[in-house]
Amino acid sequence: MGQIVIVGLNHRTAPVEVRERLAFPADTIGHALRGVVEPRGISEGVILSTCNRVEVCVLADEGFRGTEAVREFLSSYHGMPAKELSEYLYHQTGEEAVRHLFRVASSLDSMVLGEPQILGQVKDAYGYAAEFKTIGPVLDKFFTKAFSVAKRVRTETRVANSAVSVSYAAVELAKKILGDLSDKTVMLIGAGEMCELAARHLLSAGAKGILVTNRTFERAVRLAEEFDGTPVRFDELSSHLKRADIILSSTGAPHFILKREDVESVLRVRKNRPMFFIDMAVPRDIDPDANEIDNVYVYDIDDLNNVIETNLEERQREAARAEEIVAAEVAAFRRWLESQQVTPTIVSLRRKFEEIKAAEVAKAVSALGADDPKTRKVIESLASSILNKVLHPPIASLKRESDGRSPMETVAMVREIFDLPEEEAEEERERTGDAPGQGGSVGSP
């Protein structure tokens, strides 16, 4: 059956200059995957390579030095001395490896808890392994299960629900204050990166249009073209401001771009329709006193950071619930792995006794000179009855979870007592694939 092994490093164990040396670009991943499964003791392999982590997951034969083989592969492939590399690497095997991948896919091990990108990156890693045929039935089941665990965590907890970036926090606040954004117009003052990102999110959230102004008009034109919006000359800002419901500002001005009296004037023209200002500039662009005007809402960068802090605390609370889901799923997957040992053992056991029965029935028939079908049927029936009675206790023990003994220990004991060849079990596993077969399933993930 083998053992699942994960060897890798991440943002907590290695600085970026090490992570970039160990990265596997997409255009060379096929060559790398073939190198991972090259040792005879490794039958399946997947490489996960992102900006924050590089991990190699393999299925290694029982007793094979899988961890060392992967370490040697990473050292050799990237030309990094093993001694230097070892201080950054971690490794997980068996159940801990299962828990690790489930946590990674669910974004519980990410730099930003609950971020959604990692699940797509794990799926990409699985896709590459499938494309280059380095994944088999066990890792296929393992990664497929990791995807469903991540989906369950995302569905049943709020670990990924609240915004933890400035741009997303701005969108969240806009929805909370203005409700439906489909009839709202956004104005960008300045062309800063955070402003631009927030504008993209607002448009994705349904905002109907965008105005862009900047001291350098050409930049305003370029950015407006990206959003299919309207450029506005900076000296015409005040005359266009009345059209905007949401104003994102991020200029390098050393003073307020909009004072309280400017906002009061615009609001009168708008007949007091609400205005939502997000001031991402330091020094600030919007006079904070404008926030005292009815139907005017001004948030600066500290306000947004406070929202993010609150949301992060909520994610941490939800992470505890997510860990419970992961723990339950790890136990279910462990039972499935164990069933992969139980089923071939039961098949091997029954096959061995069927062969003995057939040989003994033939001897008895020959010795008795009993050629008539009726006598032969009686002898076969007697032999089958004895066989079933003899096999019942060991098969029941294999299927049962009890006495604090794992099914793996029971499998080993039964195979030793009845002298069952391991090669036969391997053939049976290959024949039955990843589905627990006759009488051997003790659970499924």
Could you give the count of Cα atoms lying within 13 Å of 309 in the half-sphere of its Cβ? 6
Residue with tokens 């190699």: 56
Closest Cα partner for 66 from 118, 128, 4?
4
Residue with tokens 């604090």: 404
Characterize 327-349 residue by residue with b for buried, 16 or more Cβ atoms within 10 angstroms of its Cβ, and e for exposed: eebbebbbbbbbbbbbbbbbbbb
Identify whether 51 is a catalytic site residue. yes
Q: What is the dihedral of CA 60, 63, 65, 70, to 10 degrees?
A: 10
The token pair that represents 276 in the structure block: 């939502």
In this structure, the strands spanning 3-10 and 53-60 are antiparallel
In this structure, the strands spanning 42-49 and 53-60 are antiparallel
The token pair that represents 97 in the structure block: 């490896």
Q: Could you give phi then psi for residue 433, rounded to 5 degrees?
A: 65, -140
The token pair that represents 4 in the structure block: 């699942």
Residue with tokens 């330091």: 282
C-alpha distances (whole Å) from 114 to each of 65, 117, 152, 165, 316 are 34, 9, 13, 12, 9
State how far the Cα of 127 lies from the Cα of 188, in Å rounded to an integer: 40
The token pair that represents 365 in the structure block: 């028939």
Q: What is the dihedral of CA 304, 306, 309, 313, to 10 degrees?
A: -120
| Backbone dihedral region for residue 335 (phi beyond 0: left; psi -120 to 50: alpha; all else: beta) | alpha
Contact 180, 212 (CB under 8 A): no
The active-site residue out of 51, 82, 359, 378 is 51
State how far the Cα of 226 lies from the Cα of 289, in Å rounded to an integer: 33
Contact 347, 420 (CB under 8 A): no
Closest Cα partner for 85 from 54, 60, 122, 61?
54
Contact 247, 274 (CB under 8 A): no
Q: Which residues contact 221 (CB under 8 A, 6 or more apart)?
A: 231
Tell me which residues are annotated as active site: 51
